Amino acid sequence: MPTAAAISIGNSTLQAGHLVEGEIDGFVTVPSDRPDELVDAIEPWFAEVDREERAVLMASVNRSAETALRTVLADRIGGEIVEMEKDLSAPIGRGLDPESVVGVDRLLAAAAAWDELKQACIVIDAGTAVTVDFIDGEGVFQGGSIMPGIAAMLRTMAMSTDLLPDEGFEVPTGEPWGRNTIDAMRRGVHAAVSGGAWKLVERYALHYGGFPLVVATGGDAPVLFEDDELVSRVVPDLVLRGMALAWRTANETTEDAEA
């Protein structure tokens, strides 16, 4: 199975995984506006691979970052770019509206979660936006919910008011209430995202008639859900694992056809 790189292009970050024998063998994450830094990290992965034999799997929800990265990849890596959902589908069943368009990252994370758990599950992806998606006991992605992420909430409050400051997020500690404005804001957005996810998980479980396992991923997942009793595990490279699964599936199908 050929060596490749899997790259997930998000609104805030670029994440790349080294694909060796169809499995992720290490990954790196950089801000979405630093494509050269990402390519610096992945270039050694292809040191012993001929330029024309190189492959890069790409899943994008950020067109401007994708365009910039493609330019750097063409110059420094070369080879074939395999676009997820266009050239290679996420291996997950779908119970969606016929004309719906779902972010490729959500489908890939769902595919990876189902492949690992083989039972009904919920995937929380906590990034610029937070998605809470449900995969049923047959491995079918049924859809989910989308809400603003921590940074988006803080930024919106600062932009929409005269007195609330524009500050970054830090995990609240100590007392449950903030004794100054920014602490109060941080506690509020932390509760809004984690509490919103809890509420959605409860609704999904009630409707499904059982309590699925919950997996969290995304840049803010560790600060939100690392010690959360509702979340069974935090998997930072879940989307990349979904890409690896799609790559393995495609190569195994090709090998079976050639046998």
User: Which domains are seen in the chain, by residue range?
Assistant: 4-83 (3.30.420.40), 93-240 (3.30.420.40)
Rounded distance between C-alpha atoms, residue 112 and residue 244, angstroms: 9
4 CB neighbour count, 10 Å cutoff: 26
User: Residue 39 has what pLDDT?
Assistant: 97
pLDDT in tens, the chain (259 residues): 677 999 999 999 999 999 999 999 999 999 999 999 999 999 999 999 999 899 999 999 999 999 999 999 999 999 999 999 999 999 999 999 998 989 999 999 999 999 999 999 999 999 999 999 999 999 999 999 999 999 999 999 999 999 899 888 988 889 999 999 999 999 999 999 999 999 999 999 999 999 999 999 999 999 999 889 999 999 999 999 999 999 999 987 666 556 5
pTM for the whole thing?
A: 0.93
Q: What is the DSSP string of 217-254?
A: ESTTHHHHHTT-TT-SEE-TTHHHHHHHHHHHHHHHHH
At 188, the amino acid letter reads G
Rounded distance between C-alpha atoms, residue 128 and residue 146, angstroms: 11
Q: Rounded to the nearest 5°, which phi and psi values hold at 118? A: 55, 40
Query: Would you call 115 a catalytic residue per the annotation?
Result: no
Report whether 92 contacts 141 (CB < 8 A): yes
Q: 105, 125, 133, 237: which is the annotated catalytic residue?
A: 105
User: Residue 2 has what pLDDT?
Assistant: 72
Residue identified by tokens 């050694």 is 44
Coil, strand or helix at 65: helix
Longest dimension (CA), the chain: 68
